[in-house]
Amino acid sequence: MKILAQECYDCQSQLVRNMPTKASIGSFADMLYCKSNERQENIGKANAVSILDRELKGQHTNHPRLRRTLLIIGGLLFVLLIFFSFTNFSSDVAFVQHALKPPAHFTFHGQNGYISSVAWSPDGQEIASASGDGTVQVWNAHTGTIVRIYKGHTGDVLAVAWSPDGHELATGGLDTTVQVWNVATGQRLFTYRGHSDAVFSVAWSPDSKYIASASQDGTVQVWNATNGQSLLHYGTHPLRGVPPPWNSVAWSPNGRELALGGEGDAIVLNMQTTKEVGEYGYNGGTIHALCWSPDGRYIAFGGSDSTVQVWDLATHQNVYTYQGHQTDVFSVAWSPDGQRIASGSGDGLIEVWDALTGQHVYTYRGHADFYMGHLTSGSNAAVNTLAWSPNGLAIASGSNDNTVQVWKPM
């Protein structure tokens, strides 16, 4: 303002010395007005710059919204920095895609223990799941709504199988028994007590008349589902005085043969003669699960060497060996159309394979334990069981995470 006053004084003196006219006085007024406006504009610009500078430095107390925005942006950048520092994109992009677009239809949380076994009803409308909490639950396969709960075992329930006619369930448990249930009423029809140790696997004959059960006691037994009358009691010679357990049993599609899996090779029995008709090598490992192809020409099994092997029953040749899991394979299932094989493992993953070419098709990670995109070790993610829906469009899988997940295998 002092500079402006001095300029006005100088202008006035100059006009006086030059004997100003009326017109020159008007010019002086105009000049004074322009000088004043110019100074005000400069002051306004200076104030605007000062305010902007304070805003960017977060010092302007009248704009909390801007401060919050800057804090949110900073927090997001920090989270992204931590994520990228822990993430290996070569192995974890699939996890991110799964998190954004999970293939699961839904996850069933109805039981309080690990899921040991699952089975679809023949019409594909319901799923039965056996659990370490001692229960078997049947629930709607489309909504996850619980339909019935079966309680009869005194310990963990290790196996469940639905009769082909859809009327009954068979369950095997840690309490050494196999129990037969009426699906509609929930009534227990019969309890089979022929085993002396835990029953790991049960399977119905295609005509729904007989049940085969495999046990820790080293025997596979076949008996009448109505009265328990024994049809077969099969056991191998003890190794070092201890009979090896049988972990899995499966009927052939035509009901004429029975496949067994346990310590060592898979064995196929002729049910008319009760004699062995074939052994299929597993390199001295343990077979945890096996299944038949729908046409009855092949068997697939998985076990302790983390592979899934497919064998031709007629030629006794290993057709394919699928390698993709990191630990034991606990479950194997062939799709109803014979095109694909699914396998679940202790690594928490389910791999789907092309049964004709041996090519890997899909990996499902729904049960796996992840921390910032990395698969953790431990048993919580282990997939103990899986089963294809009768129409082949979905898979139900059960895990040590206490859930059953229903999902599309593509």
Q: What angle do CA 79, 81, 84 make, to 5 degrees?
A: 110
- Give residue 284's pLDDT band: very low, low, confident or very high (50, 70, 90): low
- Among residues 220, 303, 304, 302, the alpha carbon closest in space to that of 257 is found at 220
pLDDT of residue 236: 61
- Among residues 365, 367, 351, the alpha carbon closest in space to that of 402 is found at 367
Cα 199 to Cα 38, 79, 160, 203, 270: the distances in Å are 97, 49, 10, 11, 22
pLDDT of residue 378: 44
How many other β-carbons are positioned within 10 Å of the β-carbon of residue 33?
A: 10
Interval 128-176: pLDDT, tens: 999 999 999 999 998 889 999 999 999 999 999 999 999 999 999 999 9
Q: pTM for this one?
A: 0.73
DSSP 35: H
Q: Are 316 and 280 in contact (CB under 8 A)?
A: yes
Question: Which of the residue ranges 27-31, 340-344, 361-365 would you say has the lowest mean pLDDT?
Answer: 27-31
If you average pLDDT over residues 66-92, what whole number do you get?
Answer: 55
If you average pLDDT over residues 77-94, what whole number do you get?
Answer: 43
Q: What does the block give as tokens for 291?
A: 């299944």
- Give residue 66's pLDDT band: very low, low, confident or very high (50, 70, 90): low
Does residue 96 have a pLDDT over 60?
no
